[in-house]
A = this chain, B = another copy of it.
Amino acid sequence: MRFTIQRDKLIASVQDVMKAISSRTVIPILTGMKIEVRQHGVTLTGSDSDISIESYIPAEDEDKVYVENIEDGTIVLQAKYFPEIVRKLPEAQVDIVVDEQFNVKITSGKSEFNLNGQSADEYPHLPQVETENSFEMPIDLLKSMIKQTVFAVSTMETRPILTGVNIKLEDQKLVFTATDSHRLAKREVPVTGTNVSIEQVVVPGKSLNELYKILNDSEETVEISVTNNQILFRTEHLNFLSRLLDGNYPETSRLIPDHSKTTIQIKTTPLLRSIERASLLAKEERNNVVKFTSNDDGVIQISSNSPEIGNVEEEVTADEINGENLKISFSSKYMIDALKAIEYDEVVIEFTGAMRPFIICPVENDSILQLILPVRTY
């Protein structure tokens, strides 16, 4: 096996597949990176058995030559050393030669590394995902959906199904839902040009966080396919495969109140900054609670009290308040997460009482919904 490759291409691909490689895996060979060399190009693979990432470097692309001197072959290299070696090599080209004892010689300019490789025979085969039932969407839209929901997954292993994001595609409408049972985040987008439907799958939050980091905005669309226990995200040079979570995702639609007693329309950033300040004195308590009070004069008071340290009072002027006056307490962290996720300048908050969940949406747009359960303090 042999190939000569452009170092910057190799660095980018190595960086991508490293996101799937963990040094703490129970399968020793998965601490390594698989490199497969064919006449048409080089494929790098990393996996921690939950997530697998394949990155492909074509030998030629639009008349540019990325890989030369190709002799087919496959090898597994220790991922602990290989990425930094590649990054620090002196020249723009790297030559990699592997002999039959899996000795790997990496040469660039006057620098020569000899590494002990491993046979790729022991490297697990990635599950094949049928790509017939697939649909496409813009990468930036997928990233936005991940960002607006994934923060709300549970981090507790007591209900494993809640550590994932529920994904559903029905009637050309794609819906992401995440909840940790104290708050919920939901995002809906229309998907055109497909009749595929996905009844209900739950993708680990960790996988989506890694996917978010790895997807760059230079490639335009991502193709998504699902089988029973895997989901595949495919872009031009990347396959990102994640296992799905087993179990039934709870029915969340009935959590969402369908009427409200108090509706407040308010600018997102001033409200967010006030709540951030109100949470400063309580930063060590896990659920630092702020009080939120609406008055007749259109002013919202936000306050927090930590007896040993002090207290804080904030005022924000609402753009519009309709319905009853309200006193409610909630986790400042949940509110901060929700307001940051919304990405619109102005929000509507709909309350149905101090002990009932409330929802936050952008003004005149219900494709994003954030729901928070209040905390009993009054």
Measuring CB to CB, which residues of chain A are less than 8 angstroms from any residue of chain B? Answer: 78, 81, 84-85, 88-90, 104, 110-116, 273-274, 276-277, 280-281, 308-316
B277 and A85 within 8 A (CB): yes
Choose one: B90, B112, B277; the contact of A89 (CB below 8 Å): B277
The residue of chain B having its C-beta at the shortest distance from the C-beta of A107 within the complex is B313
A309 and B112 within 8 A (CB): no
B310 and A113 within 8 A (CB): yes
For A312, what are the chain B residues with a Cβ–Cβ distance below 8 Å? Answer: 111-114
For A116, what are the chain B residues with a Cβ–Cβ distance below 8 Å? Answer: 308-310
A88 and B276 within 8 A (CB): yes
Q: How near does chain B come to A307, taking the closest CB pair, in angstroms?
A: 9
B280 and A88 within 8 A (CB): yes
For A309, what are the chain B residues with a Cβ–Cβ distance below 8 Å? Answer: 78, 81, 115-116
Q: How many copies does the complex hold?
A: 2
B81 and A281 within 8 A (CB): yes
For A81, what are the chain B residues with a Cβ–Cβ distance below 8 Å? Answer: 280-281, 309-310
Q: How near does chain B come to A218, taking the closest CB pair, in angstroms?
A: 30
For A274, what are the chain B residues with a Cβ–Cβ distance below 8 Å? Answer: 110-111
A281–B81 Cα distance when bound, in Å, is 7
For A315, what are the chain B residues with a Cβ–Cβ distance below 8 Å? Answer: 110
What are 15 contact pairs spanning A and B, CB under 8 A?
A81-B280, A88-B273, A88-B280, A89-B277, A104-B310, A110-B274, A110-B314, A110-B316, A111-B312, A112-B312, A113-B281, A113-B310, A113-B312, A114-B312, A116-B310
Q: How near does chain B come to A298, taking the closest CB pair, in angstroms?
A: 13
Choose one: B111, B277, B281; the contact of A314 (CB below 8 Å): B111
Q: How near does chain B come to A108, taking the closest CB pair, in angstroms?
A: 9
B277 and A111 within 8 A (CB): yes
B314 and A114 within 8 A (CB): no
For A84, what are the chain B residues with a Cβ–Cβ distance below 8 Å? Answer: 280
For A277, what are the chain B residues with a Cβ–Cβ distance below 8 Å? Answer: 85, 88-90, 111, 113
The residue of chain B having its C-beta at the shortest distance from the C-beta of A274 within the complex is B111
A19–B233 Cα distance when bound, in Å, is 46
Query: Which of A88, A89, A308 lies at the interface centre, i.e. has the most chain B CB atoms within 10 A of its CB?
Result: A88
The residue of chain B having its C-beta at the shortest distance from the C-beta of A273 within the complex is B90
A311–B314 Cα distance when bound, in Å, is 62
For A104, what are the chain B residues with a Cβ–Cβ distance below 8 Å? Answer: 310
Q: How near does chain B come to A168, taking the closest CB pair, in angstroms?
A: 39
For A280, what are the chain B residues with a Cβ–Cβ distance below 8 Å? Answer: 81, 84-85, 88
A342–B88 Cα distance when bound, in Å, is 21
Q: How near does chain B come to A339, taking the closest CB pair, in angstroms?
A: 15
